[in-house]
Structure 1
Amino acid sequence: MTSQNMSAVVTGASAGLGAAYAQRLADRGYDLILVARNTARLETLASDIRSRTGRAVDVVTADLTDAAQISVVEERLRTDESIEVLINNAGGGMFTPLATSDAAASEALINLNVTALTRLTTAVLPGLTARGHGTVVNISSALALNIMPGSAVYSGTKSYVLMFTQVLQQELAESPVTVQAVLPGAVRTELWDRSGVDLAVFPDETIMSADDAVDAALAGLDAGEPVTIPSLPQISDWESFEKARQTLVPNLSQRVPADRYRG
């Protein structure tokens, strides 16, 4: 995936995975539109990328949980014909038992991880399909697959991202537009600072750097993987998982209940 005179939009770009994506996409020849709440960090990153690569970098300060601010980003996605790539990376984490959690915090997490991602994808897709090319990358999580107490809302949002992406892949099967889901495990980013979990509780060998995670995700994209799990040794394991799920499909909706439910 390389391009000249085309733009990539990266949300949550001020740190972590977003900053790594920004650097890698600039290296691949993309101009950048970087979106995050922290203007100072965005400007520092943009200055570094401009001086290092010579690429044009536009900074858009926006809180994607705010309707007025997300509408500015949506308008850019709808109208800027240079946009070739959208990296839906902005997201948050919250790990606490639901019975002791704060409902407002859960709602904010859903707005960021689900609503914002959905709105931005909806805004960019018509232009990409009309231009006949483009890529959307949706950052999910390994916790879309791994059930862990305390992660009900976070895992629920990331499961949405995975399923949302897989449905889009079916809808766009005849289109040249590519949609990828990325499911990283624990990554050394600032997400953990406000998550309720100290990253230090995890063994070092289970924690990936943001640079390595993004490099793996881009390698998966280049290889045509619809779903990339950066630490998974064999893609055949994911394929087997999906094949097992497909065996359920013919019996998910039938006129009569299964025999075991009938007396």
Structure 2
Amino acid sequence: MSQQQNKGTALVTGASSGIGAIYADRLAARGYDLILVARNEERLHDVADRVQRTHGRGVTIVQADLGARDDLARVEAILRTDASITLLVNNAGFGAVTPLLESDVDRMTQMIDINVTAPTRLAYAAAPPFVARGGGTIVNIASTVGIGIEIMNGVYGASKAYVLALTQSLHHELASKGVRAQAVLPGATATDFWDTAGLPHENLPAAMVMRAEDMVDAALAGLDAGEVVTIPPLQDGNDWIEYEATRKALAQRFAHATPGERYLARAAA
């Protein structure tokens, strides 16, 4: 049984395998009870049983498809009403590697439902009670393709860019109210995500594929360090600091009533 101090309850989506299942193990080891959410109930039971045997924490499973409105609403209700919840990990999601013209638009809409709508609604459900209780943490699993949007399918990249922006906005608005927000940006990670996306990770260069355990451990180290954005495969953290500084400086240059001179010159020609 875990000897860690009880840290409340962590609700983890996409918890039946891969990154979500590893988060469940690591968070239980840190002293969290768990609410594990995923579509595959059998796999959820396997993860729950393993966590309980190893760490002795309480585990509740919730079988839910976050792309289905009623299922999503059930999970939102849990976040609003369970006062023991101190941590939300928005991990559920899926990707694609096909170009725009080869992608099914209905499948892309499903991706938006899972990657964008679900974490947004769950964050909205969690944030008010966290603020009311004076603390809580929201971890959103984004992706490095949220920055390198040319790397994979454009809708997937756009969905993860949204998750990154949402997390930064949550931090901006809620940090002063005691609520933490962290975006985790994995690169290629050895999970069955790639099978669903249509490109098994075994087909990628081994030097670029991170073990899922290493990714989650790095993400938690970033959380411990107080990072708002954690990028496990980025070797020099100063690269992100400089990128963010440039972005914030550029954002201060948009408040002008007239177009830039380059446009005025063309309009006058």
For the criterion TM > 0.5, the same-fold answer is: yes
Which aligned pairs between 1:128-147 and structure 2 lie closer than 5 A?
128-147=130-149
Which aligned pairs between 1:1-263 and structure 2 lie closer than 5 A?
3-4=5-6, 6-148=8-150, 150-263=152-265
Q: How far apart in 2 are the matches of 1:80 and 1:74? A: 10
CA contact under 8 A between 1:135 and 1:178: conserved in structure 2? yes
CA contact under 8 A between 2:145 and 2:152: conserved in structure 1? no
Q: How far apart in 1 are the matches of 2:141 and 2:225? A: 17
CA offsets 1:184-206 (integer angstroms, 9 cap, x no match): 00001111112122323321010
Letter in 1 for 2:180: T
Residue 28 of structure 1: how far off its partner (Å): 0.5
Aligned length: 262
TM-score of the pair, normalised by structure 2:
0.95
Q: 1:3 to 1:66 in 2, by over 3 A?
A: farther
Q: 1:226 to 1:193 in 2, by over 3 A?
A: same
Q: 1:176 to 1:231 in 2, by over 3 A?
A: same
Residue 148 of structure 1: how far off its partner (Å): 2.4
Q: How far apart in 1 are the matches of 2:41 and 2:110? A: 21
DSSP-derived class of the 1:172 partner: helix
Name structure 2 gaps, 5 residues minimum: none
Q: How far apart in 2 are the matches of 1:237 and 1:149? A: 19
Residue 5 of structure 1: how far off its partner (Å): 5.7
Cα RMSD after superposing both structures: 1.2
CA offsets 1:179-236 (integer angstroms, 9 cap, x no match): 0000000001111112122323321010011110000000000000110000112211
Q: How far apart in 2 are the matches of 1:50 and 1:235? A: 36
Residue 94 of structure 1: how far off its partner (Å): 1.1
Question: Which 10-residue stretch deviates more, 35-44 or 171-180?
Answer: 171-180
CA contact under 8 A between 1:98 and 1:150: conserved in structure 2? no
Q: How far apart in 2 are the matches of 1:149 and 1:223? A: 29
Q: How far apart in 1 are the matches of 2:243 and 2:152? A: 24
Q: How far apart in 1 are the matches of 2:45 and 2:198? A: 29
Q: How far apart in 2 are the matches of 1:103 and 1:166? A: 28
CA offsets 1:89-112 (integer angstroms, 9 cap, x no match): 000011111112101000000000
TM-score of the pair, normalised by structure 1:
0.97
DSSP-derived class of the 1:63 partner: coil
CA contact under 8 A between 2:192 and 2:200: conserved in structure 1? no
Question: Which 10-residue stretch deviates more, 172-181 or 61-70?
Answer: 172-181
CA offsets 1:55-97 (integer angstroms, 9 cap, x no match): 0000000000000111111110000000000000000011111
DSSP-derived class of the 2:155 partner: helix
Identity of aligned residues (%): 48
Q: How far apart in 1 are the matches of 2:122 and 2:252? A: 33
Where has structure 1 moved over 6 Å in runs of 4 or more? none
Residue 146 of structure 1: how far off its partner (Å): 1.1
